[in-house]
């Protein structure tokens, strides 16, 4: 009985805060279905980590070191970069690059919509973060969970917890964040611009060669990006080859599912009261929002710039779809377009830009690593 | 701060360069490997 009270009384206010945060993550995952595949394991992991004297994390009892299972998962799966890279194989196997191959010009919108990453890095440095921490925070703007985790695990592993929470939370909030940011920089007339759609077919050879060529080009320019791009494109080659259907299905389902469970729990091991409840966590959450807003603004303004030189205008909202949150961003843009004009269909264009964002975000992550490592 | 601006210039500049190369590559792939008639029907 004494032991029971001893454990209960050992709870600190910071641990209570973290336990409430764990419950909040579980609530968002279950009741609101916000990125539940990652937030649910993370939320439960936070509960396990922040109970007093938790055996789930490494502890030293009376001079004896006891390895915690969640720390072991972190060291073997995230510190080694293994989990995010395995997830990239699955994501690659899920992506259909067809819409981008049909409209290759959209690839530039993917680049423009990464502006928020670099803008946020500068803002974070103004707030006093060193360049490696600032880059890890800025990469939240990639709107790509595994890329954020991969980059921050190498540049600022101590910030991994808040960065993951921010990245996945804001990805789920894209339908709220993007309309707000788009309306800041567009007029109603611009949002009503209609675009013509011409269906085009892509040959099997093009689909097969694309992942190989992307890996080659990105690898030559920034060798540090090879694990990121390479695993993504390897997954895509599994899909497009057509000869390893079982492997492609396994990558899309079993591999991603198992790794996501382990990834969520491993990230939770970094969300301990003593290291998480700090002012920097709140800055990171705020800066993540800045990154998403300026990604959107960067994409929209780029299209507006291009429109100055084009006869056939592009709906500026398409530029906002150049982030990696697929297909949520493309759907959000279509909804906005139809809200302004019920007969405006821009979904196919916004999907092309969205696919471009998936490639560009990974390249941006690789370039940040190439510059700083 | 200077490092931040340099990273922005390097990051955005290199990304546009890489994606411009990819754009030209896709254009070439689409030109040289245009789908044959039976492939179009299959798709």
pLDDT in tens, A253-295: 999 999 999 989 998 888 889 888 889 999 999 999 999 999 9
Considering only the beta carbons, identify the residue of B3, B11, B39 that sits closest to A367: B11
Considering only the beta carbons, identify the residue of B12, B26, B27 that sits closest to A118: B12
What is the Rg, in whole angstroms, of the alpha carbon atoms belonging to chain A?
21
Give the pLDDT confidence score for residue B37 in this predicted structure.
60
Inform me whether the C-beta atom of residue A135 falls under 8 Å from chain B C-beta atoms. yes
Per-residue b or e along A155-166, where b marks 16 or more CB atoms closer than 10 Å to that residue's CB: bbeebbbbbbbb
Predicted confidence (pLDDT) at residue B43 exceeds the cutoff of 70: no
CA distance to partner chain A, nearest, from residue B14 (Å): 8
A-chain residues within 8 Å CB-CB of B43? 201-202
Note if the bond before A327 is cis, omega within 30 degrees: yes
Phi/psi of residue A258, nearest 5 degrees:
-65, -45
Inform me whether the C-beta atom of residue A363 falls under 8 Å from chain B C-beta atoms. yes
Inform me whether the C-beta atom of residue B15 falls under 8 Å from chain A C-beta atoms. yes
Report the run of H or E that residue A59 belongs to, with start and end.
strand A59-61
Q: What contacts A77, CB < 8 A, 6 or more positions away?
A: A83, A262, A263, A266
Say if residues A354 and A326 touch (Cβ distance below 8 Å).
yes
Residue range B10-39, pLDDT digits in tens: 999 999 999 999 999 999 999 888 877 655
- The CA angle A60-A64-A67, to the nearest 5 degrees, is 60
Residue B15 half-sphere exposure toward CB, CA atoms < 13 A: 33
Give the pLDDT confidence score for residue A8 in this predicted structure.
83
Residue B42 binned pLDDT confidence (cut-offs 50, 70, 90): low
Phi/psi of residue B23, nearest 5 degrees:
-60, -50
Give the Å distances, CA to CA, from A20 to A5, A305, A318, A340, B37: 20, 46, 39, 40, 60
CB contact under 8 A, B12 and A206: no
Inform me whether the C-beta atom of residue A134 falls under 8 Å from chain B C-beta atoms. yes
CA distance to partner chain B, nearest, from residue A131 (Å): 7
| Residue ranges, chain A, pLDDT below 70 | 1
Residue B40 binned pLDDT confidence (cut-offs 50, 70, 90): low
B-chain residues within 8 Å CB-CB of A202? 30, 35, 43
B-chain residues within 8 Å CB-CB of A107? 19, 22-23, 26
Closest residue in chain B to residue A135, using alpha carbons only: B4
Give the pLDDT confidence score for residue A80 in this predicted structure.
87
Say if residues A369 and A154 touch (Cβ distance below 8 Å).
yes
Three-class DSSP category at A198? coil
Taking each continuous run of H as one helix and of E as one strand, the counts in chain A are 22, 2
Give the tokens for residue A351: 């999907």
Give the pLDDT confidence score for residue A365 in this predicted structure.
93
């Amino acid at each position: 009985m004494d032991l029971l009270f001893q454990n209960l009384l050992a709870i600190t206010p910071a641990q209570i805060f973290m336990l409430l945060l764990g419950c909040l993550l579980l609530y968002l995952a279950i009741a609101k279905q916000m990125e539940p595949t990652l937030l649910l394991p993370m939320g439960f992991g936070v509960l396990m980590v922040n109970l007093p004297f938790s055996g789930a994390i490494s502890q030293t009892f009376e001079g004896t070191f006891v390895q915690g299972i969640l720390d072991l998962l972190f060291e073997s799966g995230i510190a080694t970069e293994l989990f995010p890279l395995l997830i990239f194989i699955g994501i690659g196997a899920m992506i259909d690059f067809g819409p981008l191959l049909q409209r290759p010009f959209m690839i530039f919108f993917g680049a423009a919509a990464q502006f928020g990453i670099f803008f946020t890095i500068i803002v974070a440095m103004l707030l006093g973060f060193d360049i490696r921490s600032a880059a890890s925070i800025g990469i939240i703007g990639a709107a790509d969970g595994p890329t954020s985790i991969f980059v921050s695990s190498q540049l600022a592993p101590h910030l991994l917890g808040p960065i993951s929470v921010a990245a996945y939370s804001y990805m789920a909030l894209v339908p709220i964040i993007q309309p707000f940011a788009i309306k800041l920089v567009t007029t109603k007339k611009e949002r009503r611009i209609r675009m013509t759609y011409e269906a085009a077919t892509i040959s099997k050879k093009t689909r097969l060669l694309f992942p190989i060529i992307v890996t080659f080009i990105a690898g030559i320019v920034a060798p540090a990006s090879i694990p990121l791009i390479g695993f993504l494109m390897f997954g895509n080659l599994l899909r497009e080859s057509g000869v390893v259907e079982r492997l492609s299905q396994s990558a899309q389902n079993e591999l991603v599912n198992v790794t996501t469970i382990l990834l969520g729990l491993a990230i939770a091991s970094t969300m301990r009261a003593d290291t998480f409840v700090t002012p920097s966590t709140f800055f990171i959450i705020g800066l993540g929002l800045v990154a998403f807003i300026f990604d959107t603004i960067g994409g929209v303004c780029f299209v507006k710039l291009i429109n100055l030189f084009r006869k056939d205008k592009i709906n500026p909202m398409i530029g906002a779809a150049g982030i990696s949150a697929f297909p949520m961003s493309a759907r959000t843009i279509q909804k906005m377009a139809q809200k302004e004009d019920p007969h405006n269909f821009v979904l196919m264009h916004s999907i092309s830009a969205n696919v471009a964002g998936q490639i560009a975000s990974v390249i941006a992550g690789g370039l940040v690593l190439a510059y700083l490592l | 701060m200077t490092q931040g601006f340099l990273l922005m210039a390097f990051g955005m500049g290199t990304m546009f360069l890489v994606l411009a190369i990819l754009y030209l590559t896709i254009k070439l792939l689409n030109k040289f490997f245009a789908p044959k008639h039976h492939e179009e029907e299959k798709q």
